C-alpha cells in the first residue's frame, strides 16, 4: 500500500485530524493547539480532546453500538479534470461546504520522496482546484513531508515563494515522530517514517490508548514488513493479538454472534448460552476467512469449549484457507 493511499485512509477515518495540524483550526473547535511546520513539545496538542474518545472505543462492544459522533470535517475525494491527478485528500467542512474563515476546505498532500517539480505542481493543482470548484470560498493547503530535507524544487519565482510560505502549512513527520507524549491519533501519522526499532513501542503506545486504531495500523505495518502476515507482524513487534478484537469487522461479527447466541441459548444454562454465542461468532469469522464450511467441520467447531473457541478466534488471523483450520483442529485434538 503506497503511503499516500494509507494517509488518505487515515483521514477518511479521522477527518478531524486536520484540526490539529493547521494553525488556527484547533483553537476554534478541537480545543487544542495546532501543530505548525516545525512542531515543538510546547506546541503539541493536549491529549484531552482526542483521548476522550478512546475510553468509549476501548470499552466492551455492545450488540447495538451507539452512533458515532458527528465530525467537523468530512472526507470527499475529487479528481481534477484534464489532468491525471487526484489530490491525496480533500477535507470539506460538514456545515460549510464552501469553507469559512474558521473552517476552510483543506487540500492535503503527502510527499515522502524528493521531487523537484513538486512545488510548482502543488501551486498549479491548488489553483486548478479553485478554478473547478467555484463553491470554495476559503481554502488551505496542508502538506505532510517525510522530512524537511526533501528536494522539492529548484529556484522559484517570487509569486511561487509567497504561495509556499504564506498559504501552505508544512508538517515534518520526522520531526513530529521525535516529539514526546504525542496524542495517539497524531502518533499514527508518524508510523511510515518511524525507525524500525521504534515501530513496536510506538504502535503499542498508540494501541494502549486507542485500540480502535488497529485497523489503520496493520496496513502500514504490512507495507513496512512485506511477506509477513498480520499475526506475524504483531508477534514480531510484541503487539498482543487481543487488539484485533477492537477491529470494526470483529465487533460487527461479535454483535451478530452474540445476538444469535442469545436466541439459541435463551432457554439453556448461562454457561452453555455463552458457549453457543462464542461458537456462532467463530463460525462467522471462519466463513469470512476460509469460505463455506462442511457440516462435519461446523459440528467440530460447535463442540469446542469456550476457552478453545477464544483461542480459535485469535488463531484464525493466520488462516489462509480451510486446510489451516483442519490442521488447527487436528493439533488441538492430538
Which pLDDT score, from 0 to 100, does residue 64 have? 52
Query: What count of other Cβ atoms lies within 10 Å of the Cβ of residue 125?
Result: 18
Average of pLDDT values for 87-93?
Answer: 90
Spatial contact of 234 and 240, defined as CB atoms under 8 Å apart: yes
**Confidence tier at 179 by pLDDT (50, 70, 90):** very high
The pLDDT tens digits for 30-62 are 444 444 443 333 333 333 333 333 334 444 444
Integer CA distances (angstroms), 194 to 6, 155, 189, 201, 202, in order = 15, 31, 10, 10, 8
Residue with cell 517539480: 117
**Better-predicted residue by pLDDT, 262 or 163:** 163
Which pLDDT score, from 0 to 100, does residue 145 have? 95
Which pLDDT score, from 0 to 100, does residue 255 have? 60
Is this prediction's pTM over 0.75?
Answer: no
Which pLDDT score, from 0 to 100, does residue 28 have? 47
Q: How far apart are CA 210 and CA 214, in angstroms?
A: 8
Which pLDDT score, from 0 to 100, does residue 39 have? 37
Share of the chain above pLDDT 90, in %: 32
The pLDDT tens digits for 124-171 are 999 999 999 999 999 999 999 999 999 998 778 999 999 999 999 999
**Phi and psi at residue 188, to the nearest 5°:** -55, -40
Share of the chain above pLDDT 70, in %: 75
Q: Which three cell numbers stand for residue 67?
A: 452512533
Q: How far apart are CA 18 and CA 78, in angstroms?
A: 17
Which pLDDT score, from 0 to 100, does residue 126 have? 95
Sorted by sequence, the CB contacts under 8 Å of residue 260 that are 6+ apart come out as 277, 280
Residue 202 has pLDDT above 60, yes or no: yes
Which pLDDT score, from 0 to 100, does residue 233 have? 79
**Better-predicted residue by pLDDT, 268 or 205:** 205
Which pLDDT score, from 0 to 100, does residue 44 have? 35
Query: What is the sign, positive or negative, of the torsion defined by CA atoms of 273, 279, 283, 285?
Result: positive
Nearest 5 degrees, angle CA 246-CA 312-CA 263? 75
Count of H-run helices and E-run strands, the chain: 16, 5
Q: How far apart are CA 185 and CA 191, in angstroms?
A: 11
Residue 260 has pLDDT above 60, yes or no: no
Q: Which three cell numbers stand for residue 312?
A: 480459535
Average of pLDDT values for 101-111?
Answer: 94
Lowest model confidence (mean pLDDT) among 1-10, 87-96, 103-112, 262-271: 262-271
Task: Name the helix (H) or strand (E) containing 168.
Answer: strand 168-172
Nearest to 80 by CA among 141, 130, 123, 120: 130
Identify the DSSP state of 234.
H
Q: Which three cell numbers stand for residue 178?
A: 521525535
**Confidence tier at 234 by pLDDT (50, 70, 90):** confident
Residue 312 has pLDDT above 60, yes or no: yes
Q: Average per-residue pLDDT in the chain?
A: 78
Amino acid at each position: 500500500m503506497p503511503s499516500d493511499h494509507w494517509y488518505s485512509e487515515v483521514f477518511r477515518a479521522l477527518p478531524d485530524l486536520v484540526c490539529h495540524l493547521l494553525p488556527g483550526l484547533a483553537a476554534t473547535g478541537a480545543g487544542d493547539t495546532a501543530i505548525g511546520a516545525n512542531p515543538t513539545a510546547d506546541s503539541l496538542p493536549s491529549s484531552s480532546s482526542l483521548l476522550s474518545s478512546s475510553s468509549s472505543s476501548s470499552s466492551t462492544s455492545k450488540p447495538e453500538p451507539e452512533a458515532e459522533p458527528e465530525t467537523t470535517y468530512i472526507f470527499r475525494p475529487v479528481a481534477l479534470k484534464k489532468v491525471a491527478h487526484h489530490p491525496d485528500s480533500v477535507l470539506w467542512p460538514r456545515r460549510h461546504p464552501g469553507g469559512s474563515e474558521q473552517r476552510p476546505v483543506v487540500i492535503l498532500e503527502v510527499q515522502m520522496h524528493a521531487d523537484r517539480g513538486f512545488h510548482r505542481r502543488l501551486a498549479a493543482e491548488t489553483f486548478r482546484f479553485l478554478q473547478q470548484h467555484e463553491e470554495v470560498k476559503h481554502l488551505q493547503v496542508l502538506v505532510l513531508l517525510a522530512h524537511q530535507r526533501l528536494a522539492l524544487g529548484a529556484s522559484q519565482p517570487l509569486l511561487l515563494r509567497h504561495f509556499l510560505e504564506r498559504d501552505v502549512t508544512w508538517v515534518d513527520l520526522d520531526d513530529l515522530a521525535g516529539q514526546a507524549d504525542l496524542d495517539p491519533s497524531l502518533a499514527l501519522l508518524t508510523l511510515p517514517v518511524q525507525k524500525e526499532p521504534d515501530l513496536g513501542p510506538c504502535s503499542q503506545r498508540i494501541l494502549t490508548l486507542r485500540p480502535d486504531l488497529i485497523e489503520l495500523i496493520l496496513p502500514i505495518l504490512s507495507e513496512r514488513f512485506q511477506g509477513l502476515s498480520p499475526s506475524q507482524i504483531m508477534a514480531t513487534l510484541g503487539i498482543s493479538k487481543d487488539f484485533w478484537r477492537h477491529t470494526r469487522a470483529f465487533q460487527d461479527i461479535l454483535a451478530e454472534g452474540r445476538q444469535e447466541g442469545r436466541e439459541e441459548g435463551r432457554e439453556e444454562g448461562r454457561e452453555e448460552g455463552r458457549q453457543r454465542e462464542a461458537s456462532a461468532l467463530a463460525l462467522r469469522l471462519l466463513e469470512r476467512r476460509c469460505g463455506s464450511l462442511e457440516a462435519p467441520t461446523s459440528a467440530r467447531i460447535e463442540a469446542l469449549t469456550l476457552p478453545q473457541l477464544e483461542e480459535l478466534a485469535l488463531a484464525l488471523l493466520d488462516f489462509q484457507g480451510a486446510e489451516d483450520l483442519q490442521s488447527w483442529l487436528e493439533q488441538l485434538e492430538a
